[in-house]
Amino acid sequence: MYDLVIRGGSVVDGKGGTPFEADIGVNGGLISDVAPSIEGDARRVIDAEGAIVTPGFVDIHTHYDGQVTWDEVLEPSASHGTTTVITGNCGVGFAPVRPGERTQLIELMEGVEDIPGTALYDGMEWNWESFPDYLDVLDGKRWSMDVGTQIAHGAVRAYVMGDRGIRNEGATAQDIDHMSRLTAEAMAAGALGFSTSRILGHQSIHGDPVPGTFANEDEVFAIGRAMQSSGAVFELVPGGSVGQGGIALGNNEAHLEDELNWMRRLSIETGLPITFLIVEFLEDPEAWKGVMEFVAEANAAGARLFPQTASRPAGVLLSWQSNHRFQRRPTYLKIADLPLEERLRELGKPEVRAAILSEEDAPPLSESINDAMHIIVGQNIENVFPLGNPVNYEPPAEDSIAAEARRAGVDVEAHMYDSMMAEDGHAILMMPGLNFARGDCGAIYDMMSNEHSVVGLADGGAHCGLICDASSTTHLLTYWARDRKGPRLPLEYVVHKQCAGTAALYGLNDRGVLEIGKRADINVIDYEGLQLGLPYSTNDLPSGGQRFLQPAKGYRATIVNGMVVRENDEDTGARPGRLIRGRR
């Protein structure tokens, strides 16, 4: 008697090999059989005829650090076949924290990751101080997927150094020793890694860089050595990012080459896997190639460096539901607080349209990216595209709003206004930034094809009003393996990359492949019918906080620990997800 049998699917097992027809049997949350035909009874049978069967997706770059304390579902990741998420990236997190100092960490997360502060203030349970305490709180939670987390440099530095840490002052030997002990304590309690950020663009809502941005090698290497016995991951956003210049280190500057060199030395010394973010910059579209060459040479010499790349351009979503070019026009401000459907009725009136298009912008409320997005859009108006329906994250230049306006002989802003009124006013525009320097996704293709890279950067739970890239797992299958007009990647390759590849980096060797003895984290997918829906904005975070969600069609079933958590693209209410403590 099996708990579950999945019959008749095309198995893409996560190992990178050719798909094959097989049944999969599940008992006790584990895969107990993979065979051409499984005989015998089962408490539950899923018909996978005409579908593919894959491991559950392992998303290593999310920011659900606060959301995991109040939300069992963990959207937007839950809708896209994700069965494991890892939080605590980019040097921001919520533990350790001293009583009375929580506000600093919320302001840091809100500034760096654009998560509404009101949602964090009102939604989070703050019944911990140490990082082990935080894990104990999470250990009592139940989710639709498994959750692992990392300890963040920003929180550690703030805890140890107080305001000195927040101001990024130099750490003393005593400070470094204390940070190292806290890191070792976190690893012993089950942290999957340590994260830090070293770019000036990551700032709190007050414009303060993440604590640790300017940390010198003594501090960084001491923390790395404290992690050594755990084998956990060192994750970072490197300083000196191409196109962003260097970062100040006292009277010195750290450049990307310097960052790569210390990562190489730290990994060789400690044996730690180090994953760092890599993108194609508009200012120097070729620079990522040199990084990949460096990584290949470093890894051949014994380092374990894993550049982490996104599967689509980093682009801001624009719409009447969120940010847009007209958000500071006086006439728009008069109707901005109306419910969406009422607002759309007003925006559809010719006189309202004419007034908005004729007006100058009112000053932004603040320097935050949300309040200044209309200025950014105006400065990049040649690089704004309809996202389309079905969605297209690699639009050709001739499909830009500006190009369409020129062909039609109309004003660009007027055409942008009218384009946003499509889909009954629910149309989405996209303004791609990183990974689109040449107007295509060729660099992404090459980066994902590289043997040393891992797929990440989906930022689930973050940048709530700007993006919805947690759907990247679905995008890998629909676009990169099936629909792209240019070079594509084999289905078995992208499944391997998003499952076994990401799981192995974090030592989660109990999942990521479909074989006997592994966790029964499984997707049954109508591959030919799989489709990404149009993103939409909702105010369902605590205190009405806004975020984008994006539906998908085609997931017949998503299974976590042997339990069906989603069926026919709907949540079943099952909550088998647990906290992951340590490598497997």
pLDDT digits (tens, 9 = 90+) for 170-225: 999 999 999 999 999 999 999 999 999 999 889 999 889 999 999 999 999 999 99
- 255 and 157 share a domain? yes
- 420 and 519 share a domain? no
310 and 435 Cβ atoms separated by less than 8 Å: yes
Does a structural domain hold residue 498?
A: no
pTM of the model: 0.96
Does a structural domain hold residue 495?
A: no
Q: Which two tokens stand for residue 327?
A: 């958000």
**Ramachandran region, residue 390 (left: φ > 0; alpha: ψ -120 to 50; beta: rest):** beta
Name the CA radius of gyration of the chain, rounded.
24
Q: What is the pLDDT of residues 345-387, one digit of tens each?
A: 999 999 999 999 999 999 988 877 788 899 999 999 999 999 9
pLDDT of residue 379: 95
- 236 and 324 share a domain? no
* Boundary-marking domain end, from 418, 450, 467: 467
- 147 and 47 share a domain? no
* Boundary-marking domain end, from 409, 432, 455: 432
Does a structural domain hold residue 488?
A: no
- 425 and 442 share a domain? no
- 124 and 263 share a domain? yes
Mean pLDDT over residues 52-64, rounded?
98
Question: How many residues are recorded in the chain?
Answer: 584
Does a structural domain hold residue 472?
A: no
Mean pLDDT over residues 81-98, rounded?
98
pLDDT of residue 254: 57
End-to-end alpha carbon distance in the chain: 28
- 201 and 271 share a domain? yes
Measured distance CA(452)–CA(215) in Å, rounded: 27
Q: What is the pLDDT of residues 503-539, one digit of tens each?
A: 999 999 999 999 999 999 999 999 999 999 999 999 9
Measured distance CA(437)–CA(267) in Å, rounded: 31
- On average, the pLDDT of the chain sits at 95
Does a structural domain hold residue 485?
A: no
- 278 and 140 share a domain? yes
- What total number of domains does the chain contain? 3
Does a structural domain hold residue 487?
A: no
- 23 and 66 share a domain? no
Does a structural domain hold residue 392?
A: yes
Amino acid at 248: A
* Boundary-marking domain end, from 410, 432, 454: 432
Q: Nearest to residue 471, comparing CAs of 77, 113, 61, 145? A: 77
**Residue 246 above 70 pLDDT?**
no
Measured distance CA(554)–CA(568) in Å, rounded: 7
- 422 and 446 share a domain? no
Measured distance CA(194)–CA(170) in Å, rounded: 19
- 23 and 104 share a domain? no
Measured distance CA(247)–CA(270) in Å, rounded: 25
Measured distance CA(88)–CA(190) in Å, rounded: 13
Measured distance CA(68)–CA(249) in Å, rounded: 35
User: What CATH number has the domain bearing residue 260?
Assistant: 3.20.20.140
- 269 and 327 share a domain? no
User: What CATH number has the domain bearing residue 12?
Assistant: 2.30.40.10
The domain in which residue 266 lies consists of: 58-312+436-467
Measured distance CA(456)–CA(314) in Å, rounded: 12
Does a structural domain hold residue 260?
A: yes
**Three-state secondary structure readout of 500-514:** HHHHHHCCCCCCCCC
